[in-house]
Structure formats: structure tokens, C-alpha cells
């Protein structure tokens, strides 16, 4: 006799101190799990498997004592969460930011689990972070934080167990420090313990551009599905960091018109289109968009609601909420950031008929090429950039069409289709492996 369909628990009540406070829009883990619950119900997931997949395997909290240049001893808090490793080693970035919380890291680790399963690469999901402000640190202090944090979680790290990568406020140099620390503890060079490293020390060609390139590829496919072309499409990019700036540059090279961009310093708009190479040069010289003379400055929040065909939120979580979703005019939203759209906003966008390319697909180019880097490191044989880009395009295109097949088969939104594909792949591995007791 088959098990009855599960009824996932309702998310915890959210206290709203002010009716105009649009939360964050809710606890990030529960916001992500709301989508998981929906997919689990549609899949009629076994109740026992549901419990397994709704809980992270391991949550680590560490103290990170660091001697500042001033001689003062500071103690930071670090986290590492391994969400699920049934399909392979955990894979996930490390971020250094004052806003890092365990709930956020747990949500991001779960997203990595679904993302890797969705594009069908043999990784599980993890995430980590240290609560600190890198902008106030010298290079020496940043290195000491990185190495002490790495030493504190070193038991979980390894090419076959947990493989970090860059994330918010971390980069190739930070990955090099992590690799060196791990290698010194193991008394031999282990390049495959991290990805996103400098090419000179085992990094992959094409890795830096991979997330933005993936956004460009799936946007092109989505526009094609709508009978449109990327050439001539008007694009607005919220977040002009690594992902957003590269996505804008690659889309412009495909003929798109970039009408708006934004970063922490402000937003720019030009109905005729922005000169992306000139913008990139400006940001390299000034480290921000503010002050750029060849476009009109607009309010940062206004960037999300400008007239455009494609909107690329490529900054932080929860920027599209029930408050601004009704004003969005884009035909396609490509989620370059993790979790930029709240569950409440999803319903509004769906009713408006906006084609959403969910984050776990849209920004999966980064982890896909991280997988390529891991493979190259383990094999000691490195590919040229054309090979990397060609293989990335193949995986992203295939995954997009697998999502669309699920949308058409089950008459669900693109986001729920992605979760159904991912959750079923992780659940299938658990069924095949059985339960160790």
C-alpha cells in the first residue's frame, strides 16, 4: 500500500511590526523551503524522504579569533553548513559579510543542493561564511581570518567531502589562502579542495565569466521560447558586480541594449542604451557606478521597474517583493543572484505572465564551471577556454529545456519545475542508496 501524500508543515508565523515592513520577506530558509514543500507535494514525496531532505546534514558554528594589525584580538563567528551529500561532495561558496547568519547559510546550502541536481552534476550542496566587514580589514587581517576559519572547519573540507568557492566579498586570492592552508595541514598540494582559484594554481579558464555567461545563455533560450531575440532586447541589470557586469557585457555583445544598471552606489538609465565597455572601464577606475557622466542617475529601487524586456537581479536576496512586483514591466526575469524573489512576489509575477528563469538554473553556470575546474584538477589535465564555454553552453541549454518539459508536463511555474527536477534527482539517489543505520 502506498504512503499517503505528505502535508508539509506551514512556515512559522512571521511577526510584522509594521504593515509596510516587507520582511526580508521572510526567514530565508523557510522562504526557500516553501518552494521545496510545493515541489515535494506535487512529487508525492515519501514522508520519510521528505524529512531527510528538509534537514541539513551538518551545521558548524566556529569562533574565529584573529589578531588585528593594531594588536587587538577580535573574535568573529564563522559558519559552514553541509545540506546534502547524497549525490557527491558538498559544493558551495564562502562569504565574508556582516549580514551572514546561520539561517541564510542554511538556505544557500540547500539552494546549492538543488542547483547541482538541476544541472545534473555530481555534487551536493554546502555554504559558509564569516560575520565580518572585509572593507575595514587590511590584506593581512583578511588572510588571517581566512586561514583561521579554514583551520576551524578543516575536518569537513576535502576534494571528496566539501569543496568551497568564492562568494560575497571573497575571491581568487581568498581561495588560494584556503587551498594553501588545507595543503599545509595535509603536507602535500591539494588543488582540488577549492574552485575559483587563480588559473596559475589550478583554476579553470572561463570560471570568472561562467555565472554571467550562464545567465546570458538561458536568457537567450527564454527569449527564443517567447518568439523574441536577445539581439535588440532591452535589458536592465540590478547589481553590477562580477555576475551582473559580465552578464551585461556578454548580452551586449549578442546585440542586446543595456538600458539600466545599478550597484550599491546608485543606478544609471539610458533609453538609447549604455556603453557597457565604457561602464566597465569607469568601474575599474572608480570602483563604483556613481558619477558616471554618460547616463541619467535614477533611484536604485527604480531600476527594478524600468521599461525593459529582460530584468537581471544579480545582487542580493529578496529584492523583488510583493511591494514592487506589481510595478515590474520586464517580460523575462533572469535571477543572477540567489533568492532575489520572495515567495509572495512569485505569485504576482506568475499572474502578470512574466517568464522567470529561477536562480537555481539562471546562476548555475558558476557551479558548472567549478565542477569543470574540480575535474581538471583531479585529472591534472586542463582544457582551453573554448572547450569550457562549449561544455557550459551544452549543460545550461539542456537544463533549460528539461525545465520547460517539466513545466509543460505538470502545468507548473518554471520555479516549481526546477525544484521538482532537482528534488526528484536527490530523492532518487537516496532511494537507490538506502538508509545507513
Domains of the chain and CATH, by start: 56-188 (3.40.50.10860), 208-362 (3.40.50.720)
243 alpha-carbon distance from chain centroid: 10
Q: Are 307 and 285 in contact (CB under 8 A)?
A: no
pLDDT at residue 304, rounded to an integer: 94
pLDDT at residue 34, rounded to an integer: 86
* Neighbour order of strands in the sheet with 257-263: 296-298, 266-269, 257-263, 234-238, 310-313, 332-334, 355-357
- End-to-end CA distance of the chain: give it in Å, rounded: 24
Residue 273 region by backbone torsions, left for phi larger than 0, else alpha for psi between -120 and 50, else beta: left
pTM value surpassing 0.95: no
* Neighbour order of strands in the sheet with 58-67: 58-67, 73-84, 124-130, 90-96, 162-166
Retrieve residue 389's grid coordinates.
Answer: 564555454
Q: What gap in Å lies between CA 86 and CA 65, rounded to an integer?
A: 33
Query: Does residue 212 surpass a pLDDT of 60?
Result: yes
Q: What is the pLDDT of residues 370-396, one digit of tens each?
A: 999 999 999 999 999 999 999 999 999
3-class DSSP state of 158? strand
35 compared with 178, residue with greater pLDDT: 178
Averaged pLDDT for residues 100-126: 95
Query: Does residue 1 surpass a pLDDT of 60?
Result: no
Q: What gap in Å lies between CA 402 and CA 289, rounded to an integer?
A: 37
311 alpha-carbon distance from chain centroid: 16
Retrieve residue 338's grid coordinates.
Answer: 540567489
pLDDT at residue 342, rounded to an integer: 87
Q: What is the pLDDT of residues 236-295, one digit of tens each?
A: 999 998 899 999 999 999 999 999 999 988 999 999 999 999 999 999 999 899 889 888
3-class DSSP state of 235? strand
Using the structure block, give the residue that is written with the C-alpha cell 573540507: 157
Averaged pLDDT for residues 31-48: 91
pLDDT at residue 23, rounded to an integer: 43
pLDDT at residue 8, rounded to an integer: 44
Query: Does residue 3 surpass a pLDDT of 90?
Result: no
Q: What gap in Å lies between CA 29 and CA 176, rounded to an integer?
A: 30
Q: What gap in Å lies between CA 192 and CA 231, rounded to an integer?
A: 38
Averaged pLDDT for residues 178-185: 98
Q: Are 41 and 4 in contact (CB under 8 A)?
A: no
Burial 38-61 (b: 16+ CB within 10 A, else e): bbbebbebbeebbebbbebbeebe
Catalytic residue of the set 106, 127, 197, 331:
127
3-class DSSP state of 277? helix
pLDDT at residue 26, rounded to an integer: 59
pLDDT at residue 287, rounded to an integer: 86
Give yes or no: 409 in active site. no
pLDDT, the chain, mean = 91
CA atoms within 13 A of residue 226's CA, in its CB half-sphere = 20
Query: Does residue 145 surpass a pLDDT of 70?
Result: yes
Query: Does residue 22 surpass a pLDDT of 90?
Result: no
316 compared with 229, residue with greater pLDDT: 229
Q: What gap in Å lies between CA 250 and CA 33, rounded to an integer?
A: 33
**Number of helical (H) and strand (E) elements in the chain, helices listed first:** 13, 12
Q: What is the pLDDT of residues 88-108, one digit of tens each?
A: 999 999 999 999 999 999 999
Is the link from the previous residue into 25 a cis peptide, with omega within 30 of 0? yes
Geometric angle at alpha carbon 199, from 197 and 200, rounded to 5°: 105
The beta strands (E) that lie in 89-187 are given as 90-96, 124-130, 162-166
Query: Does residue 66 surpass a pLDDT of 70?
Result: yes
Burial 305-338 (b: 16+ CB within 10 A, else e): bbebbbbbbbbbbbbbbbbbbeebebbbbbbbbb
Q: What gap in Å lies between CA 138 and CA 141, rounded to an integer?
A: 5
Amino acid at each position: 500500500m502506498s504512503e499517503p501524500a505528505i502535508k508539509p508543515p506551514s512556515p512559522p508565523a512571521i511577526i510584522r511590526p509594521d504593515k509596510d515592513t516587507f520582511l526580508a520577506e521572510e526567514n530565508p530558509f523557510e522562504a526557500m523551503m516553501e518552494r521545496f514543500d510545493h515541489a515535494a507535494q506535487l512529487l508525492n514525496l515519501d514522508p520519510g524522504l521528505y524529512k531527510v531532505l528538509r534537514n541539513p546534514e551538518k551545521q558548524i558554528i566556529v569562533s574565529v579569533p584573529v589578531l588585528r594589525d593594531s594588536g587587538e584580538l577580535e573574535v568573529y563567528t564563522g559558519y559552514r553548513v553541509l545540506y546534502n551529500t547524497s549525490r557527491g561532495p558538498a559544493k558551495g561558496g564562502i562569504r565574508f559579510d556582516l549580514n551572514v547568519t546561520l539561517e541564510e547559510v542554511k538556505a544557500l546550502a540547500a539552494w546549492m543542493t538543488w542547483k547541482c541536481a538541476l544541472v545534473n552534476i555530481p555534487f551536493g550542496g554546502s555554504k559558509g561564511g564569516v560575520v565580518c566587514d572585509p572593507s575595514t580589514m587590511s590584506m593581512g587581517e583578511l588572510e588571517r581570518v581566512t586561514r583561521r576559519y579554514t583551520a576551524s572547519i578543516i575536518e569537513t573540507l576535502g576534494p571528496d567531502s566539501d569543496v568551497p568557492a568564492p562568494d560575497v566579498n571573497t575571491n581568487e586570492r581568498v581561495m588560494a589562502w584556503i587551498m594553501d592552508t588545507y595543503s599545509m595541514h595535509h603536507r602535500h598540494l591539494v588543488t582540488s579542495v577549492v574552485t575559483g582559484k587563480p588559473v596559475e594554481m589550478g583554476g579553470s579558464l572561463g570560471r570568472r565569466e561562467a555565472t554571467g555567461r550562464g545567465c546570458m545563455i538561458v536568457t537567450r533560450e527564454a527569449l527564443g521560447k517567447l518568439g523574441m531575440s536577445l539581439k535588440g532586447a532591452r535589458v536592465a541589470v540590478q547589481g553590477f558586480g562580477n555576475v551582473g557586469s559580465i552578464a551585461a557585457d556578454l548580452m551586449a555583445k549578442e546585440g542586446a541594449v543595456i538600458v539600466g544598471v545599478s550597484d550599491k552606489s546608485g543606478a544609471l538609465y539610458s533609453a538609447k542604451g549604455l556603453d557597457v565597455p565604457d561602464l566597465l572601464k569607469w568601474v575599474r577606475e572608480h570602483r563604483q557606478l556613481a558619477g558616471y557622466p554618460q547616463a541619467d542617475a535614477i533611484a536604485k529601487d527604480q531600476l527594478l521597474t524600468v521599461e525593459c524586456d529582460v530584468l537581471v537581479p544579480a545582487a542580493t536576496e529578496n529584492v523583488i517583493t510583493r511591494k514592487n512586483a506589481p510595478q515590474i514591466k520586464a517580460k523575462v526575469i533572469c535571477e543572477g543572484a540567489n533568492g532575489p524573489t520572495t515567495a509572495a512576489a512569485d505569485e504576482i509575477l506568475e499572474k502578470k505572465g512574466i517568464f522567470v528563469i529561477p536562480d537555481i538554473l539562471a546562476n548555475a553556470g558558476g557551479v558548472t564551471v567549478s565542477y569543470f575546474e574540480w575535474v581538471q584538477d583531479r585529472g591534472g589535465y586542463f582544457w582551453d577556454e573554448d572547450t569550457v564555454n562549449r561544455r557550459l553552453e551544452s549543460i545550461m541549454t539542456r537544463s533549460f529545456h528539461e525545465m520547460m518539459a517539466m513545466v509543460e508536463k505538470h502545468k507548473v511555474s518554471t520555479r516549481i519545475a526546477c525544484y521538482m527536477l532537482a528534488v526528484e534527482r536527490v530523492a532518487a539517489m537516496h532511494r537507490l542508496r538506502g538508509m545507513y543505520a
